[in-house]
Structure 1
């Protein structure tokens, strides 16, 4: 059945699927012609199937209303869509799916019940359990909405089919969430390692939560953040896998149509909407929601070339910026360059600077959990303390736990560390010191607001100390990079001013130490 369409600003709404029992009708003489419908027997099912076509240029989201009657125990949905051949370089059909319950589809509203993107072709929801990505709970009577997200439509258009099955009967026992604690056994004020961008089967990852937690422990991490796409369903299971040795922080990767961002440290179960573009100017609203809840806002992989991944909403509402995502690529080079330019702007304008983060964004094998991760100076191993350390920029990024680093700036009898500020007389000598281990034959770079001002090689052992002297008049900030040597003789990033650079992929990257003239 092809459904009628009514247009909206960012969505289209189709004609509803109706499951409600048929009401009694009356004959011309007033006598009852059709007896009242009986309630369906417990355990019985009713299925409706609809199909339709979307043209290229369809709205971001397609709402399919489903009229759910009373007495439903479970709702189950299956969908499919065609994938016709397309010319080279032309996007093929791709369509996500999710569902909102009788509380509606309003942006940021209370109706969200789950999202699986394009990772699943079916899902089920009942009071006792739900498919990963979806939220268990009562299947309340009223208008539900299946939401299709056709984020790529072929020139031929997209033919879809949706099947909805309702199972009747009394609801089962209520699902009991097992949220992770906000504290683990820490070491007081210390450096803690953690990966802030991880996925499970609750979105488009293939690892179970147990496997992700085990991977975090194997990587030598003290904390991890759960950031499944557009859903909080995994929050309710992490309590089983947290422990004194691993703090598990709840979060979400919010995948808007103009870039992805991380909501780190959300209260367990709190959901952040993603159904907008940069031109809708909705990002500040939801960034504010995250901060009011005690979390952090972090634009992710801003130069990722895939559709809808490149960041277009600016950094004024960001608490940090993900400049390194997974194995080192030119996307990361671009992100670091943008971040470094913003450091210069912060010095010039006096505005708050944006700290850097690095995360694995690991979804499945062979992607490595903890490559890279953040090493954060926190008052203790608690969610608020770790978030505070990240927001303050008291952190550096490591490719693995095998890399060690200590970065300080000393002058005038004072010392400042990563994320800190050293105040010194205008021409007083300031010593910048980096102690590093775990990067054999690596290259150390000291970078200021004037660019790279010192470079030095590490020995074959990968352990060494590099010291460089400057003044507060010559450097408004100093940050450090540790790079691997070129791989198999392949040059590093090209240089239009001369030969290719001699260093290769990143091994460690620090946030800056700022220098202020007394």
Structure 2
């Protein structure tokens, strides 16, 4: 077994089922004892300790024998954080739990995950710490799951305390999932943020605060995407309403990048315990697609450890090119996405090539002062329903806005026909095509019209922020056309999300459209 696949605690170690990378089951000394006659009420505390070396497996499983009569499991943990040389990662360790049904990848045993956000949690039949799933505390072998995200050169010493509380199981938990429909306006443009966090993962906002923030931002829908858990799904029901559609999802946080699973069946989680080399990602893509959901790589150029996207885009339904306030990461993501458009639509000016990948923008808001809805997606959908919104995003009938104050309309007209964002316009190769962009809400902004050849037209908006730009091309010259609306360079206006400085020829993004595809008619 390779060195990385074997964990040596110096006490007692045994290999367990491999989950992508090796998952090792480790116990500190003998397996935890089970009381011969559990008391009808009271507590029993077990302590698990050990050391993880540099190069430890991604996930380490600590078995806990749960006897009959346990009503609640409470867990707390800590690990050492020795000083490390400058530039060397220090210790960082996540935690979660699996029940007696097992730890198989994508299996039924998942009962919760809090990553590194909490040092303690508890779960019972009727309640659980956010991030964890209430439900039966059945007897059998449970597992505490440690995720040593980073291990210092000195190793990582962990100390896990598990308290088993005995007594009557208590009332059963009743989930309240959100409805799949809100009061819409029929076929219309709807605004929504598809990447949001709550206290159910590493956010500091309660679900009710997120819902209130979405309404304040003028959004029509949101998607709940807490990291690696479905626990928040069951609390959104009372927070949705005729004016706000809430869709259940998850941010799947792997060691090779994060992806959004949008439109999950309520209560279902998507496993994250794999890397790109494990070839497990396609399996979970299929899981999301079976439920009619979308797979969206998130912040693909995020500079933090394990955030950069390493799985490729072939199986994705869209890509998040704008994440929170505009940064160089987003600039790189848009450039990569635009290059993909040119590849997908090349050959005969769009008459061949695979389907193109739509762009999305989301706030990824966790807590104040991060702004819910900066940015968000404006989606043309048949109505304000889960399926209609997902269909619009999947088709690319959407554009990205920094706030609800920004309005935009992009059309292409030629040979007596017209197409809008995410649609196709088929015309004779040399027939004139007039591209019209109408914008409001971006004072002094710059409009950029971009094709597979790059930027083909640039024009400034007046100080009032409203204007119309018209540009002419042909399908023989452009396989697609898309629009960007930028703020002035080095705009330090609060709320505009500027972190770019003045070294680019344009400022931070205010709005970005998906393309209109231009196709040449067969003669």
1:5 aligns with 2:13: yes
Contact 1:486 1:492 in 2 (8 A): no
Partner of 1:307: 305
* 1:114-513 superposed matches below 5 A: 114-348=112-346, 350-487=353-490, 501-513=504-516
* C-alpha contact 1:276 1:282 (8 A) present in aligned 2: yes
- Structure 2: gaps (5+ residues): 1-8, 347-351
Q: Distance in 2 between matches of 1:339 and 1:3?
A: 50
After superposition, give the CA deviation of every residue in 1:131-171 in whole Å (9 maximum; x if it has no partner).
00000001111110000000101111111100000011121
Report Cα offsets for 1:316-338 as digits up to 9, x if no partner: 11000000000000000110011
In the other structure, the counterpart of 1:31 is none
Alignment-derived partner of residue 112 in structure 1: 110
Q: Partner residue of 1:21?
A: 35
Secondary structure in structure 2 of the residue aligned to 1:487: coil
TM-score (norm. length: structure 2): 0.93
Using the TM superposition, give the Cα deviation of residue 502 of structure 1 relative to its aligned residue in structure 2, in angstroms: 3.0
User: For 2:508, what is the secondary structure of its paired residue?
Assistant: strand
Q: Distance in 1 between matches of 2:436 and 2:331?
A: 24
Kept in 2, the 8 Å contact 1:2–1:51? The answer is: no
- Partners in 2 of 1:319 and 1:283 — Cα distance? 14
Mapped contact 1:2–1:50 kept (Cα < 8 A):
no
Of stretches 141-150 and 343-352 in structure 1, the one that deviates more from structure 2 is 343-352
Shift of 1:274: 0.2
1:49-88 equivalent positions in 2, closer than 5 A = 49-88=47-86
> In 2, distance between residues paired with 1:41 and 1:269?
32
Q: Given the superposition, is the C-alpha separation of residues 147 and 346 from structure 1 closer, same or farther in structure 2, using an over 3 Å criterion?
A: same
Deviations 1:189-215 (A, max 9, x none): 000000000000000000000000000
Question: Whole-Å Cα distance in 2 between the matches of residues 297 and 451 of structure 1?
Answer: 28
Question: Which consecutive residues of structure 1, in runs of 5 or more, have no partner in the other structure?
Answer: 23-37
2:349 corresponds in structure 1 to: none
Q: Distance in 2 between matches of 1:493 and 1:231?
A: 34
Deviation at 1:487, TM superposition (A): 1.8
- TM superposition shift of 1:6: 2.5
Could you tell me how far 1:287 is from its partner in structure 2?
0.5
For residues 79-138 of structure 1, give each alpha carbon's deviation from its aligned partner in whole angstroms, at most 9, with x where no partner exists.
Answer: 000111111111111000000000000000000000000000001010010000000001
2:6 maps to none
Aligned counterparts of 2:10 and 2:160: Cα–Cα separation in 1: 11
Shift in Å, 1:18: 2.4
On the 8 A contact 2:40/2:69 being kept in 1, the answer is no
In structure 1, the partner of 2:3 is none
Q: Show the counterpart of 2:39.
A: 40
Q: Using the alignment, how far apart are the partners of 1:3 and 1:383 within structure 2?
A: 51
Distance 1:186 1:481 in 2: 28
Partner of 1:25: none
Decide whether the 8 Å contact of 1:19 with 1:69 is kept in 2: no
- Identify if the C-alpha distance between structure 1 residues 412 and 200 changes in structure 2 by more than 3 Å, giving closer, same or farther: same
Q: Deviations over 1:277-307 (max 9, x none)?
A: 0000111110110000111000000000101
Tell whether the 8 Å contact from 2:228 to 2:252 is kept in structure 1 after alignment: yes
Note the aligned Cα RMSD (angstroms). 1.7
Q: Is the 8 A contact 1:70 1:140 kept in 2?
A: yes
Distance 1:410 1:201, change over 3 A: same
Q: Is the Cα–Cα contact under 8 Å of residues 233 and 266 in structure 2 kept in the other structure?
A: yes
Residues 1:69 and 1:492: Cα distance change in structure 2 (over 3 Å): closer
CA contact 1:193–1:376 (8 Å) conserved in 2: yes
Aligned residues: 498
CA distance in structure 2 between the partners assigned to 1:179 and 1:489 by the alignment = 41
Equivalent position SS for 1:74: strand
**Contact kept? 1:17, 1:64, Cα under 8 Å:** no
- 1:309, 1:277 → 2: CA distance? 12
Q: TM-score w.r.t. structure 1 length?
A: 0.94
The separation in 2 between residues aligned to 1:419 and 1:12, in whole angstroms, is 47
Instruction: Report how far residue 177 of structure 1 moved.
Output: 0.4
**How far apart, in 1, do the equivalents of 2:492 and 2:138 lie?**
63
Q: CA deviation at 1:231?
A: 0.2
Q: Deviations over 1:325-367 (max 9, x none)?
A: 0000000011001101110111125101110000000001110
